Amino acid sequence: MKLISGGVCAAKGFTANGVHCGIRKNRTKRDLALIYSETPATAAAVYTTNLVKGAPLAVTKAHIADGKAQAILCNSGNANTCNADGVEIAEKMSLLAAETLGLKPEDIVIASTGVIGQPLPIEPIAAGMKPLAEGLNPDGSLTAAEGIMTTDTIVKEVAVEFEIGGKVCRIGGIAKGSGMIHPNMATMLVFITSDVAISPEMLQKALSSDIADTFNMVSVDGDTSTNDMVVVLANGRAGNQEITAEGPEFETFMKALNTVTVHLCRMIAGDGEGATKLLECHVTGACDTQNAKIVAKSVICSSLLKAAMFGADANWGRVLCAIGYSGANVDVNRVDVAFRSAKGTIPVCKDGAGIEFSEEIAKEILLEKEIEILVGCGEGPGTATAWGCDLTYDYVKINGDYRT
């Protein structure tokens, strides 16, 4: 298992592109992205649990009900959510992509991201489809990743290479996500491609299982988006024997998928709106995995703890406070807390009570860009990891005038 370049184009038979078509006013910003498989692919997806859902999710869910898809079309700058004609526009996007690529509309995954509640004009998308498709290329992952960004400050892409049954296989992905990130199914928009041969049922099983420990454990601001979706396409071009059941091959695929999703989780959390630091909470010693997850997520979601990390303040009491209201089955009198970064590790709490530590050393540790919050519950085998970011002045600035 090794990291490679190429993003969503690393897997055999995939090309991608991103262009500016005119949805966004800034002409330097790409706002339309396309990912294309040269051959039909198995498809799996997970969607936001928000009761308010973007029209593209309903259209995509219907399109991949047969477990198949061949392309992903996504626009940024407009979420196509809470619009009377939302489904109609999403279907028109599908038709435009299908006609341009020589496919059926049902072969297209549709996604949108951006402002909620504003009509999405079809004209820019119609005008952009030809140059978008003509520009498809095996090095197009970067431009596609740029095409799905909104308030993101960095491109998010990753790929891995591994072997199944003696065949070289690849999985790659791109993501967007910076704000409105507190998912309970998946997160933001994530598009993953693979050349592994795997049945739709096993692909869906792999994805649904993986997100429980990855995208479901990310939070930036406590807001679950209306358009969150993770989609995986696998076209089988690696030539391995199709994975149709659990076993060593499925486990290898799961490990590769998890490598990709964890990398994307860290990128998303570290690029939270206004963020200056990536926070990673590791919980050990919980009575079971579920309670470990509750603790980790509560700590990473605490606005007070996030603010303390922004100020490099080792205010460990906020960690204990978040654990106390989390609802987890935990004995707070057995909880240990430490902070860790590239500058070292400093224990700050033992058995639920403070211990002496150097504020100067703690501050030096917390001034780093990546901070680990280590929580030991001292009760059992449960472990979990959650990802988040600090809370800064810029988060309010970005969201104070996001629409206008």
| Sole residue written with tokens 């049902």 | 106
**pLDDT in the model for residue 132:** 98
Number of Cβ within a 10 Å radius of residue 39: 12
Tens-digit pLDDT profile for residues 160-203: 999 999 999 999 999 998 766 676 655 579 999 999 999 999 99
> How many Å is the Cα radius of gyration of the chain?
22
At residue 48, the pLDDT reads 87
Q: What is the pLDDT, as a whole number, of residue 49?
A: 82
Integer CA distances (angstroms), 186 to 118, 208, 229, in order: 24, 9, 6
User: For residue 105, which amino acid is it?
Assistant: P
CATH class of 2-270: alpha beta
Active site residue 259: no
pTM above 0.75, yes or no: yes
Q: What pLDDT shows up at residue 274? A: 80
Residue from 113, 187, 224, 226 carrying the catalytic annotation: 187
Class of domain 278-400: alpha beta
Number of neighbours of residue 88 by Cβ within 10 angstroms: 13
Which residues, at least 6 apart from 106, have a Cβ–Cβ distance to it below 8 Å? Answer: 62, 63, 66, 94
Determine the Cα–Cα distance for residues 337 and 201; give it in Å rounded to an integer: 41
Identify the pLDDT of residue 181: 65
Of the given ranges (117-121, 148-152, 217-221, 360-364), which has the lowest mean pLDDT?
A: 217-221
pLDDT at 41 over 60: yes
Pairing of strands 189-194, 229-234: parallel
* Section 55-82 average pLDDT: 96
Give residue for tokens 């196509």.
Answer: 80
Dump pLDDT digits (tens) for 249-267: 999 999 999 999 999 999 9
Read off the pLDDT of each residue in 98-104 and give the average, rounded to a whole number: 98
Q: Please state the domain extents for the chain.
A: 2-270, 278-400
Label residue 140 by pLDDT band (50, 70, 90).
Answer: very high
Fold: same for 2-270 and 278-400: no
The three-state secondary structure class of 184 is coil
Residue 307: pLDDT over 80: yes
Three-state DSSP class for residue 366: helix
Percent of the chain past pLDDT 90, that is, above it, reads 85
